Amino acid sequence: MSDINFGPLTNLIGTWKGEDGVDVAPEPDGTETNPYFETITYSAVGDVTNAEQQNLAVVHYRQIVRRKSDGDVFHDETGYWMWDQDAGVVMHSLVIPRAVCVLAGGKYAGEKDSEGRTIINVAATADDPNWTIIQSPFMEKNASTTGFRHKIIVGDGKMTYAETTTLDIYGKVFEHTDQNNLILS
């Protein structure tokens, strides 16, 4: 495994803790804002080959998010990040226990911030044939996820992420957002 090139995913590998989380979630009569803390563990899986052509470097992750107000877990997410070096593409598959799955993707061509940290962007929309969303009939009808975008900035033992999940819920379009700053522990 030591010779696998995880590309922009390299600096993610490890266990991260963050105390600055802010979640903005939908309510029938408006919005709720939930401060949170979390642990995200990214583990190197290895590499896979698809159709004897596509080589992916694969990282598995588990994200456990707790409300600051009571310490209860209120978001539990898992999936994979995959790097296709030949295509210069990052892929992010995720599942959440609301019967919603996302396969997001994005190009990576060496983007860095002013401190030299890696910037990763992926996105999916329900009507995109490639990077898309699968959800249960109930969610499709009542709380449909129509879009997802996720930006990570990682390097030097620090990570910041911001994600926006666009929902069609309670008769309106709602931008459900989550962001946090994490430290490699």
Nearer to ligand HEM, 116 or 171 (CB): 171
Q: How far apart are CA 151 and CA 104, in angstroms?
A: 11
Least separation in angstroms between CB 139 and ligand HEM: 6
DSSP assignment letter at 131: S
Residues 26-45 that bind ligand HEM (CB under 6 A): 26, 34, 36
Choice between 59 and 176, CB closer to ligand HEM: 176
- Binding segment for ligand HEM among 41-49, 106-114, 115-123, 141-149 (CB under 6 A)? 141-149
Q: Taking a C-beta distance cutoff of 8 angstroms, is the pair 148, 123 a contact?
A: yes
Q: 């296709």: which residue's tokens?
A: 84
| DSSP E strand boundaries for 85-138 | 89-96, 100-107, 118-125, 133-135
143 makes contact with ligand HEM (CB under 6 A): yes
Stretch that binds ligand HEM, among 5-13, 20-28, 52-60, 106-114 (CB under 6 A): 20-28
Applying the rule CB under 6 A, the residues between 95 and 114 that interact with ligand HEM are 96, 98, 100, 102
Q: Identify the H or E element spanning 140.
A: helix 137-142
Give the separation between CA 56 and CA 102, rounded to whole angstroms: 18
- Candidates 3-11, 48-56, 115-123, 163-171: pick the segment binding ligand HEM (CB under 6 A): 163-171
CA dihedral 34, 163, 65, 57 (to 10 degrees): 180
Q: Which residues bind ligand HEM (CB under 6 A)?
A: 23, 25-26, 34, 36, 65, 74-75, 96, 98, 100, 102, 143, 145, 148, 163, 165, 167, 169, 176, 178
